Amino acid sequence: MLSLILLSQWLQAEDYTLKHEVKRFIHQMHTQYHFKTSYLQKLFQSVKKDPQAPIQTTACTAASHACKSKAQGSWDIYSRLHLEHNQTDLGVAFISEHYELFQKAFQEYGVAPEYIAAIIGIESYYGHNTGRYYVFDTLTHLAFDSSSRRKHYFRYELQEFLRMCYREQVEPRAIKGSKYGAIGMAQFMPSNYDKLAVDFNGDGKIRISSAADAIGSIANYFKAHGWKNDEPVTTRVTYEGNRFEGLKTGLKHRYYRRYLPGIYPKEGTFDYDDKVMLIKLERERYDELWYGAQNFYVLSRYNHSDYYAMAVHQLAQNIKTAYLAKYQQEQTKQLYALK
């Protein structure tokens, strides 16, 4: 039986060393990073043919989220996908389980625990869904079979993936991730692994499949992109009518608030003096309009989408509210003495 399984796997594999671009890639890895040619040839001689691995890609970022159409009702669909399914309660439990790690992350990086937890919740359902695709095979398909202009991007990610495996002394074929090659609880792409992942538990290894390193790495990611704990993220604002068409919205457009007549926070004040983005969430019967501060833009660096950043923010706030309601203890006061 075992021999039949091995034969089946062999028959489903492809020898990529026959491809000219792969030969050139192997030569580059050897000359630039001193990989053994024989080792790389062995890897590329048996690339699994996964019929579910994507070959064509679109202009969307290589993240674990599907592209969305900005149509009426699109936010209703998107928010249900990312904010329901017990996400809040699981986030509360996740922070409670790893309380000391979240406190340490806040002390070292100044990133509120609810935002770290929300990223992990949306990206990997708190570690329950880190991906079912073998990363080496997936990135190889995308780097050398894709007709997309992004194949050069995936070739770079494959390079960084192999370098990461060498540094961390892990077997490339053993790692699973998303259908675009994102890895672990934090769903980092391999290129971000080298620059931003951290050994947060001090065991001498970086494993963002572990809660400790995922929490620390996300906090470091935020800080590296300019997160400021003493500044707001976003707030909902008013406007006339049911559909907002007056000004350009989204991450690329910023305005001083004094030049936005008729647009102001629906609740309380918004203590932020810099330019703001106008974030439009299209519901079935009306548009929601929000101010987005620089911290909102930082959230969007994880996945370059205003909807994604808003989902992270709203899930984070749901988690914080539920956590405070459940735990009325001194440690809660310490953990959430954030603003």
Active-site residues, by number, are 123
- What residue type is 103 in one-letter code? Q
Query: How far is residue 4's CA from residue 9's CA, in Å, rounded to a whole number?
Result: 9
DSSP letter (8 states) at residue 327 = -
Contact residues for 20 (Cβ-Cβ < 8 A; gap 6+): none
Work out the number of other CB atoms within 10 angstroms of the CB of residue 288: 16
Query: How far is residue 218's CA from residue 275's CA, in Å, rounded to a whole number?
Result: 26
Surface-to-core class of residue 325, CB atoms within 10 Å of its CB (0-12 exposed, 13-18 middle, 19+ buried): exposed
CA distances, 301 to each of 145, 218, 251, 298 (Å):
28, 11, 10, 5
- What residue type is 115 in one-letter code? Y
Query: How far is residue 238's CA from residue 240's CA, in Å, rounded to a whole number?
Result: 7
Contact residues for 18 (Cβ-Cβ < 8 A; gap 6+): none
Radius of gyration of the chain from its Cα atoms, rounded to whole angstroms: 22
Query: How far is residue 271's CA from residue 302's CA, in Å, rounded to a whole number?
Result: 25
Query: How far is residue 65's CA from residue 123's CA, in Å, rounded to a whole number?
Result: 8
Question: Directed axis angle between helix 99-109 and helix 211-224, to 10°?
Answer: 20
CA distances, 246 to each of 240, 260, 291, 307 (Å):
10, 10, 15, 20
